[in-house]
Amino acid sequence: MLSDAVNAWSRGELAKHTVITAARALQPYGVKLMPLKGVELIARYGRDPAERWVADADVLIEPRKFGIACSALTRSGFRETMNGWSAVAFACPSGAIDLDVHRTALPMFMGKMSARWLFSRGHTSSNIFGVPVVHMHPADAIVHLLCTHLKDRLPRARVDTVAADLRSVARHTTPADVALAGSSAELRSAAWVALTDLLCGRDEYLLQPFLDELRPSIVARQRALAIRRVVGSLGAAHPHLSHAIVRNAGDSWSRGILSSALSLARTEGALRRIRKVAREMTG
């Protein structure tokens, strides 16, 4: 409907305004921010805001300055609405869309895509937002989008949106760069699992080369697919455990997570499936 498209477009514009307001508030304190996900996709990669719904404006804060950033935003009129270790939510003083300030780009222990690593590979520019912000390297953005989708346990309802997000960024990088970024962050297997799930039964000529390049070694591939099967075995009955398994889906993943799955699984069916995966994993 036209009203839905107009509403989505207005939220995209408000998200950009919120990022600009936050960046200006942090400038006097020497704190840099990096726009993430929806607001960056709309502002930098040309995603149509009428088609790309934005719930809030997500930004990552440069390392060791998270506390300073939160204090500076509060002094500038932002009102804290939710507090956590990895992220703090703020209401924008101008009444625009809410701001989510992140300390980490991905959950702890999910690879090595740290804020320090992302900021070191990003570039600072004021061309897009009119105020200096750090933009994530396009190859890192692809890996981040895929691993965020995996972290959310591959929701089918978001497949079309995530695929469109990836296509918008894919035009600005190469499959080789994305594979290198995934390997460097120990997230190549995780990214491959997410993209495999996304492309299942889809004709995606633009994204297929990325899937081919991300393909990990046979051992890493078996490990990653085993994780996916364990998560599927547990299902919605164990969301916290599923999240823990997905979070450890990087190349540094350990078999120990299967032991946790076995100890917490409640149904005989889940136990049988997880034991089967465990036997395959241990040869």
Residue ranges per structural domain of the chain: 2-136, 140-214, 218-281
For residues 18 and 96, what is the distance between their CA atoms, to the nearest angstrom?
Answer: 6
pLDDT on residue 273: 62
Question: Which residue from 200, 137, 205 is spatially nearest to 172, judged by alpha carbons?
Answer: 137
Task: Specify the CATH architecture of the domain 2-136.
Answer: 2-Layer Sandwich (3.30)
pLDDT on residue 169: 98
pLDDT on residue 217: 77
pLDDT on residue 250: 47
Q: pTM (2 decimals)?
A: 0.83
234-237 long-range contacts, Cβ below 8 Å, gap at least 24?
234/261, 234/265, 234/270, 234/274, 235/270, 237/266, 237/267, 237/270
DSSP E strands, the chain = 33-36, 57-61, 79-83, 87-91, 99-102, 123-125, 133-135
Residue 229 CB burial class (10 angstroms; 0-12, 13-18, ≥19)? middle
- The low-confidence residues of the chain, meaning pLDDT below 70, are 1-2, 109, 219-283
Contact criterion met (CB below 8 Å) for 186 and 251? yes
For residues 135 and 130, what is the distance between their CA atoms, to the nearest angstrom?
Answer: 13
Dihedral sign (CA 119, 135, 171, 202): positive
